[in-house]
Amino acid sequence: MRRLVISRDVLVIAAAIVGSSVVMLGESVVTLALPSIARTLQVPFASLQWVVDGYNLTLSSFILFGGSLGDLLGLRRVYLWSACAFLLLSLVCALAWNGLTLIVFRALLGVAGALLTPVSLAVLNAQLPKDMRSRAVGYWTAATSIVLALGPLVGGYLVDLFTWRAIFLFNVPLALIAIGIGYAALEKTPIGRDISIDWFGAILAFLFLAGLTYGLIEGPANSWPPATIGALVAGAACFVAFVWWERRARHPLIDLSLFRNRNFSATNSATLLLYAAFGGFGFLFSYFLQTAAGYSATAAGAAFLPLSVMLAFLSGTVGEYSSRIGPRWFMTLGPLLCSAGMLSLLSLGPHTTYLSGVLPGVLLFGAGLVLTVAPLTATALNSAPDEKSGIASAINNGVATAGPLIVIALLGLGGLEHAYVFGVWLCVVLAALAGLVSFAFVRKAKASS
């Protein structure tokens, strides 16, 4: 009997896929459980914002720290440690007994995700041959799309069949698989003795995002008390201090020299805008599809299944074509199609049927995602030198998670009764701006040396 041998390159891609997927599911699946959480824990809409944004806050705040830690301690070590932490904290989240404990445990889960996300993607750039990287990103996009397609569907079913606690237990087998593959496939690398971690920069990044998030969520919910206005001012001040510090620190958290590369700057700007639109719309659509249109959690999870199938089967092909002819037109047309898809889903109500009221918008939105995600990710990675792949991945993932954090916090500005219409229009504009930025500034990506 012949022994099946799987190449190490395939296992490295698998490790990147599973590691990223478990963190992505931590972001996406929980939105399906929000109505169930609100009912069982008796929490208001602002607390539901915190359940999502507490995770996004720590994820986006510490993801740069995770990239630096990966470069310092080695991608393999950080990958395995953070996957183990994600597994344990998922179990703890399932045991939360009130809204506050769930928010706190989710925030800690976001820290583990912040360490796992950048190293999961960085291994594609650091541990694969150069001629495989663009294709690997396409495979990564396709495979994570399959997981994200099945994840909400299974997660919604688990919520309907059992309880919202089951969605956190759903993370456990994925984390175990990530640990197994990462242990087998990833190369051991020596500790980077000449690399230091910018602790002060990490604190300023957290305070900046925490101040904005607190002010934007709690301000509208409590008629703007002075503490919320002070938090916004303090957050803005911390951002200015963060940029000032990063320009002067001996070992900065963000290597600002990376932004001298036109593609790197433009791609991360587009990422911020585009993922802000994706995250905000995903939060709104999952919640209001259940509360306004009367869908079950399972049906809401299945609503975006065609989108994920499109990503799974077409992203690899788009990744290959964009590497040949350049990412500009893909990253221009894709966000504009996403805007059109979201706009077509604006009139969500109790009489909305799936085939006529939801599916056309989902297909249009999906076509935009297919054209955008793989070129966007590949361009961000290829615009940085190999030795800075960890921090480059962390920056790209950081802006991708910071965008939804701010947009979800903004949703309460118009009040709950106007949150859906206000939020959809906001996301439509942000996605369109991402397309315009790409058209104006992105050119054919070239790997840095």
Calculated CA dihedral for residues 415, 52, 255, 251, nearest 10 degrees: 120
Segment 214-234, tens digit of pLDDT = 998 888 878 889 999 999 999
In the predicted model, what is the mean pLDDT of the chain? 86
Q: Is residue 3 part of a domain?
A: no
Say how far apart CA 436 and CA 86 lie, in whole Å: 37
Residues 62 and 134 in one domain: yes
Choose among 242, 247, 251, 246: nearest CA to 197. Answer: 251
pLDDT value of residue 261:
86
pLDDT value of residue 286:
86
Segment 314-360, tens digit of pLDDT = 877 887 888 788 889 999 999 999 999 999 998 888 888 899 889 99
pLDDT value of residue 136:
83
Residues 262 and 140 in one domain: yes
Say how far apart CA 196 and CA 199 lie, in whole Å: 9
Q: Is residue 400 part of a domain?
A: yes
pLDDT value of residue 381:
76
Domain boundary among 214, 230, 252: 252
Q: Is residue 386 part of a domain?
A: yes
Say how far apart CA 384 and CA 29 lie, in whole Å: 32
Which residues, in sequence order, are CB contacts of 1 under 8 Å at separation 6+? none
Q: Per-residue pLDDT for 377 more than 90?
A: no
Residues 97 and 228 in one domain: no
Q: What's the token pair of residue 367? A: 């076509």
Q: What's the token pair of residue 23? A: 């963190």
Say how far apart CA 322 and CA 84 lie, in whole Å: 36
Count of other CB atoms within 10 angstroms of residue 330 = 24
> How many whole angstroms from its chain centre is CA 435?
19
Q: Is residue 193 part of a domain?
A: no
Q: What's the token pair of residue 347? A: 């009139």
Identify the band that residue 5 occupies on the pLDDT scale cut at 50, 70 and 90.
very low
Which residues, in sequence order, are CB contacts of 40 under 8 Å at separation 6+? 163, 164
Q: Are 172 and 28 in contact (CB under 8 A)?
A: no
Residues 81 and 227 in one domain: no
Say how far apart CA 37 and CA 164 lie, in whole Å: 6
Higher pLDDT, 239 or 377: 239
Q: What percent of the chain has pLDDT over 90?
A: 36
Q: Per-residue pLDDT for 196 more than 80?
A: no
pTM value > 0.95: no
Q: What secondary structure does DSSP assign to 252-311, as a single string?
A: -SS-GGGGGSHHHHHHHHHHHHHHHHHHHHHHHHHHHHHHTS---HHHHHHHTHHHHHHH
Residues 248 and 124 in one domain: no
Domain boundary among 236, 252, 268: 252
Q: Is residue 448 part of a domain?
A: no
Residues 370 and 226 in one domain: no
Residues 173 and 222 in one domain: no
Q: How far apart are the first and last CA of the chain?
A: 46
What's the alpha-carbon Rg for the chain, to the nearest Å? 20
Q: Are 449 and 385 in contact (CB under 8 A)?
A: yes
Identify the band that residue 192 occupies on the pLDDT scale cut at 50, 70 and 90.
low
Segment 79-121, tens digit of pLDDT = 999 999 999 999 999 999 999 999 999 999 999 998 998 788 7
Residues 319 and 203 in one domain: no
Domain boundary among 209, 234, 252: 252
Q: Is residue 388 part of a domain?
A: yes
Q: Per-residue pLDDT for 449 more than 50?
A: no
> How many whole angstroms from its chain centre is CA 335?
16
Q: What's the token pair of residue 119? A: 């190293």
Residues 121 and 40 in one domain: yes
Choose among 383, 390, 384: nearest CA to 76. Answer: 390
Identify the band that residue 193 occupies on the pLDDT scale cut at 50, 70 and 90.
low
Structural domain that includes position 237: 199-252
Angle at 98 between CA 96 and CA 100, to 5 degrees: 95
Say how far apart CA 57 and CA 405 lie, in whole Å: 6
Q: Are 54 and 114 in contact (CB under 8 A)?
A: no
Choose among 403, 332, 401, 336: nearest CA to 364. Answer: 336
Mean pLDDT of all residues in 43-54: 89
> How many whole angstroms from its chain centre is CA 124?
18
Q: Is residue 230 part of a domain?
A: yes
Q: What's the token pair of residue 325? A: 């002819």
CATH number of the domain that 308 lies in?
1.20.1250.20
Residues 312 and 398 in one domain: yes
Q: Is residue 276 part of a domain?
A: yes
Q: What's the token pair of residue 113? A: 């995700």
Say how far apart CA 444 and CA 19 lie, in whole Å: 29
Say how far apart CA 211 and CA 349 lie, in whole Å: 34
Q: Are 159 and 32 in contact (CB under 8 A)?
A: yes
Residues 231 and 374 in one domain: no
Say how far apart CA 404 and CA 164 lie, in whole Å: 22
Per DSSP, 98 falls in state: S
Mean pLDDT of all residues in 159-164: 91
Residues 82 and 170 in one domain: yes
Segment 275-288, tens digit of pLDDT = 999 888 988 888 88
Say how far apart CA 124 and CA 312 lie, in whole Å: 18
Structural domain tally of the chain? Answer: 2
Identify the band that residue 429 occupies on the pLDDT scale cut at 50, 70 and 90.
very high
Q: Per-residue pLDDT for 137 more than 80?
A: no
Say how far apart CA 69 and CA 411 lie, in whole Å: 33
Three-state DSSP at 96 gives: coil
